[in-house]
Amino acid sequence: MAERVSLAVTNLDDRLVPAALVDSTETPMTSMPPFKPSYALGSGFGSQSRVQVLDSDLKFRQDFLAFEAGFTGGVRTALADFNGDGVMDIAAAAGPGGGPHVRVYDGATTQDLFSGNPVLAIAPRLHFDEFVFDPKFAGGVTLTTADVTGNARPDLIVGAGASGGPHVKVYDGDTWELAMEFFAFETDFSGGVTVAAGDLSDDGKAEVVVGSGPGRTNGVAVFDLSEAGQISRFSPYGTSTMGLNVAVVEERIVVGPMSGLGNRVLHFDGTALFSGSAETVLGPVTIVAYDPGFTGGVFVASADVDLDGRDDLVVGPGAGGGPHIKAFDIDDGTLLDEFFRPRATAGDAWSRAGVPVGRA
């Protein structure tokens, strides 16, 4: 348990499982009981594609490399129960330096993999294993999960990463077919995008929130993909051209800066977009996530950390920061939890590559 504190293409592994895992799919598997994940942690550029899922007691429940051991572009991750078995599955997107590779791992089999029981050390099942953009694109992929199509099943939303166009795709989490795709900003913009989603209109379908990458005036665009298309666009950090990380936490649109804009996290009332006065989305609440002198940026995500039935804001540092994870109550900004990312093994050094937190 962790201590709490007050354009070159690199080919990724073309197997269905990382090379380090044992391919023994015919081995009988004993099911482990589901657990409620509180933290889904990816890895920043320059580190391996390690995914860690922790419960509210900061115990490891899953810990594995989503892609081959030699790939050091990092990984973004998000959780959702795609197959309806009561266990959260793990979506993982390769960071810059490899192809635009996304995998969705069956959560039950990755949980069994981490149990330490050799009988259960089998290859995890994959629900999805695709290059979601041109295979030659090496800028990485951002992702999130939410029910966009309105079929009461989570869908997979992906965006092109650094050096990519503002291209967003939605894959139906039931059939894994491409359900829709669009460009969130100017088609000639090549700074990439980050993606988030949540039901801001309370109609049973999630709206998609897109943050711009670096290279244009910072922008957040909100899309209702069922009817209205784009319903809002605004620049939370004035005229800055640095990029944005985005999340939806309950009814709030949350924005964290990429490097160069400090670590001031803003959140806005997303329901105001549907009240007939879109301008009222402005006037944000501010949370300073780390020391004011830290300028590496902040990753943002949602998770029910205190298990009260409402999502909380989870933040991780951008590049250059120690692996310091924090959780805040989205309503009043109260610090609920903080810890340093657990080492995978006792001898591991803490990385300063950043910790992309994911939806849990």
Q: Is 291 exposed, middle or buried (0-12, 13-18, 19+ CB in 10 A)?
A: exposed
Question: Closest by alpha carbon to 52, among 44, 41, 43?
Answer: 41
Is the pTM higher than 0.95? Answer: no
Question: What separation in angstroms does the CA of 61 have from each of 27, 107, 112, 321, 360?
Answer: 21, 10, 9, 25, 13
**C-alpha–C-alpha distance, residues 5 and 311, integer Å:** 22
Phi first, then psi: give them for residue 20, nearest 5 degrees: -75, -10
Residue 353 confidence (pLDDT): 83
Q: Which two tokens stand for residue 161?
A: 């990463």
Whole-number Å distance between alpha carbons of 265 and 255: 6
pLDDT of 98-151, one tens digit each?
Answer: 899 999 999 888 876 655 544 444 567 899 999 999 999 999 999 999 999 999
Look at residue 292 in the predicted model and tell me its pLDDT. 87
Residue 122: what pLDDT?
A: 52
Q: Give the 3-state secondary structure of the chain.
A: CCCECCCCCECCCCCCCCCCCCCCCCCCCCCCCCCCEEEEECECCCCCCEEEEEECCCCEEEEEECCCCCCCCCEEEEEECCCCCCCCEEEEEECCCECCEEEEECHHHHHHHCCCCHHHCCCCCEEEEEECCCCCCCCCEEEEEECCCCCCCCEEEEEECCCCCCEEEEECCCCCCEEEEEECCCCCCCCCEEEEEECCCCCCCCEEEEEECCCCCCCEEEEECCCCEEEEEECCCCCCCCCEEEEEECCEEEEEECCCCCCEEEEEEHHHHHCCCHHHHCCCEEEECCCCCCCCCEEEEEECCCCCCCCEEEEEECCCCCCEEEEECCCCCCEEEEEECCCCCCCCCCCCCCCCEECC
- Do 118 and 36 meet the contact criterion of CB atoms below 8 Å apart? no
What is the residue-level pLDDT of the chain in tens, covering all 360 positions?
444 433 333 333 333 333 333 333 333 334 455 667 889 999 999 999 999 999 888 888 888 899 999 999 999 999 999 999 898 999 999 999 989 999 999 988 887 665 554 444 456 789 999 999 999 999 999 999 999 999 999 999 999 999 999 999 999 999 999 999 999 999 999 999 999 999 998 889 999 999 999 999 999 999 998 776 888 899 999 999 999 999 999 999 999 999 877 889 999 988 887 765 544 444 567 899 999 889 999 999 999 999 999 999 999 999 888 899 999 999 889 999 999 987 755 555 567 889 999 999
Which pLDDT value is given to residue 20?
34
Rounded-to-integer distance, Cα 308 and Cα 289, Å: 22
Which whole-number Å values give the CA distances from 136 to 98, 156, 190, in the listed order?
A: 9, 21, 15
- Looking only at the bridges linking them, the beta strands covering 298-303 and 312-317 are antiparallel
Output the 3-class SS for 163-185.
Answer: CCCCEEEEECCCCCCEEEEEECC
Compute CA distances 34 → 84, 89, 108, 111, whole Å: 12, 11, 8, 9
pLDDT (0 to 100) of residue 12: 36
Q: Which residue type sits at 193?
A: V
pLDDT for 221 equals 95
